[in-house]
Structure 1
Amino acid sequence: MAGTAGLRADRVVRRAGGRIVVDGVTLAPRPGETVGLLGPNGSGKSTLLRLLAGVLHPSAGVVTLDGLVLDRVGRRVAARRIATVEQQVHTQTELTVRDVVALGRIPHRSPWAAGSAADGPAVAAALDRSGLAGRAGQSWHTLSGGERQRVQIARALAQEPRELLLDEPTNHLDIQHQLDLLELVVSLPVTTVIALHDLNLAAMYCDRLLVLREGRAVAEGTPGEVLTPALIEEVYGVRAEVTDGPGHPVIRFLRREAQPPVR
């Protein structure tokens, strides 16, 4: 795999608690694209993201970064390249928005060093890119859920990564914040892998989709190729109509047929 650019999972398996959570999944995002991970709860999306981030180690298969096995790349090098955004982050520490964003610079610091001349401009650029420059001094604890997620993306941007991994970042956000957040994500000059529950959001914002069920990949391709009524019923157990929208498919879920009254 030498010479292979970017982050790649090749036939990865992850066993936990006596069962297989991820079963032989391959994922090779192309530089600059946004790949959506879809599947019901328990399908392995979060575990696959943690394998890509190096937080978990595969039981079989391999995760590579530019053709090198991720375990051999080194934590500091990997942390400079790969940024992660979890579903929700909590802290009891009193931090400003700028403080949180500045945490993204830690991988670029030498051990015990206070920082470098590059930290300030990187943090300022991340705040500006994410629309938070005017809130840099505001307390983290006064922000809404959507604003906190935007700060986490700014923190990831300050890290200056080439790969960005997001685990259901739109959960618990209202529609406006979901759209704003995803508009920001897809505008970033990085390769993105994002786990999502909402199929319409995935269709709108992702270049390519990988669908998981019970840890296995069952479909991969563009939203138009993947999001079919048959696939949605097979994976999610619901009926849906799929129509052509402006540049992407639109999914309309159908109510279950009413059962006849019991006599």
Structure 2
Amino acid sequence: MNHPVRTSEEGLRADRVSLGIGGRILLDGVTLVPRPGETIGLLGPNGSGKSTLLRLLAGVLGPSAGVVTLDGSPLNRVGRRAVARRVATVQQHAHTQTELTVRDVVALGRIPHRRSWSPMTPDDLAAVTRALERTGLTDRADQSWHTLSGGERQRAQIARALAQEPGELLLDEPTNHLDIQYQLDLLELVTGLPVTAVIALHDLNLAAMYCDRLVVLKDGGAVAEGTPSQVLTPALIEDVYGVPVEVTPGSDHPVVRFLRRGSAPPGRTGPDRPPRAPDLPAGAAQERPG
């Protein structure tokens, strides 16, 4: 997709950010500059720094070096309420012991726009209604949060984020533990929103299908950045994830196939090497019911 040209200070960006805790480097000099309306996928194994980078972008953590800015101003100078009006986050899991309806959960997104203890205004109510409609949850609005499926809960969290009316949306592995239908529905929803999105993902094929650009992290550093076709190569995937793969060019995006360890290279079988078992699509081992 085409994106308008942005100035060097527009939007949310991370400039050579690092973070160390307890003598351990969690993130080391990473730069991220999303373009307006773009969907960026953060890839990398567990512990590579994806969640840490998202927390820095959200202002939940402060970098030990470098800076995160919003329209050119460091987040700590913008103020938490002002940041919350622009930047919404969706975590992997959301839990609450409080009995809430879906509408109650979505209405939490209006907190940055309201004064403490003030009632919902007509603008607040309209924003909640639009968010429910956009996520297909209007008929679930008065249903208990606790009765929703995993995929519906994730949609409700996205609706809560949309009710904030953000310009930037940060999602930390939102497809984990969802079945295939919910994974696809959720990413179709996110990439169709009028926001700039940064999504941490494990599934390489989903990242290739839905992200405009990918940033790959390893041991806290960025090791690759570019379009899915530029980034998802067998050499890089084996270096970062430690697994052999085949990557097939597609009409819209590359397709990644994991290979069984010790299997014969393509086209090589013989009496001393049994035929290779069918390869699994990337991320298949992670699919769980939603």
TM-score by length of 1: 0.96
List per-residue Cα deviations over 1:136-167 (Å, max 9, x = no partner). Answer: 01110001111100000000000000000000
CA distance in 1, matches of 2:75, 2:121: 26
Aligned counterpart in structure 2 of residue 134 of structure 1, from 123, 128, 139: 139
Tell whether 2:52 aligns with 1:47. yes
List per-residue Cα deviations over 1:218-246 (Å, max 9, x = no partner). Answer: 00000000000000000000111111123
Tell whether 2:109 aligns with 1:104. yes
Matching residue's letter, 1:143: L
Tell whether 2:38 aligns with 1:22. no
Partner of 2:181: 176
Tell whether 2:89 aligns with 1:84. yes
Partner of 2:70: 65
Mapping of residues 224-243 of structure 1, within 5 Å: 224-243=229-248
- Aligned-pair CA distance for 1:258: 5.6
* DSSP 3-state at the match of 2:252: coil
CA distance in 1, matches of 2:35, 2:159: 23
Aligned counterpart in structure 1 of residue 119 of structure 2, from 111, 114, 118: 114
- Aligned-pair CA distance for 1:111: 2.7
Partner of 2:287: none
Partner of 1:220: 225
More displaced 10-residue stretch of structure 1: 245-254 or 34-43: 245-254
CA distance in 2, matches of 1:154, 1:209: 25
Tell whether 2:154 aligns with 1:149. yes
Aligned counterpart in structure 2 of residue 202 of structure 1, from 193, 207, 212: 207
* DSSP 3-state at the match of 2:96: coil
Tell whether 2:12 aligns with 1:11. no
State percent identity of aligned pairs: 76
CA distance in 1, matches of 2:128, 2:122: 11
Matching residue's letter, 1:112: W
- Aligned-pair CA distance for 1:3: 6.2
Aligned counterpart in structure 2 of residue 248 of structure 1, from 253, 256, 260: 253
List per-residue Cα deviations over 1:100-124 (Å, max 9, x = no partner). Answer: 0000000000233223221110000
The answer for unaligned runs of 5 or more in structure 2 is 1-6, 265-271, 273-290
TM-score by length of 2: 0.88
Matching residue's letter, 2:26: V
* DSSP 3-state at the match of 1:256: coil
CA distance in 1, matches of 2:107, 2:201: 27
What is the Cα-based RMSD across aligned positions, in Å? 1.4
Matching residue's letter, 2:130: A
CA distance in 2, matches of 1:118, 1:39: 40
Matching residue's letter, 2:65: A
CA distance in 1, matches of 2:154, 2:199: 14
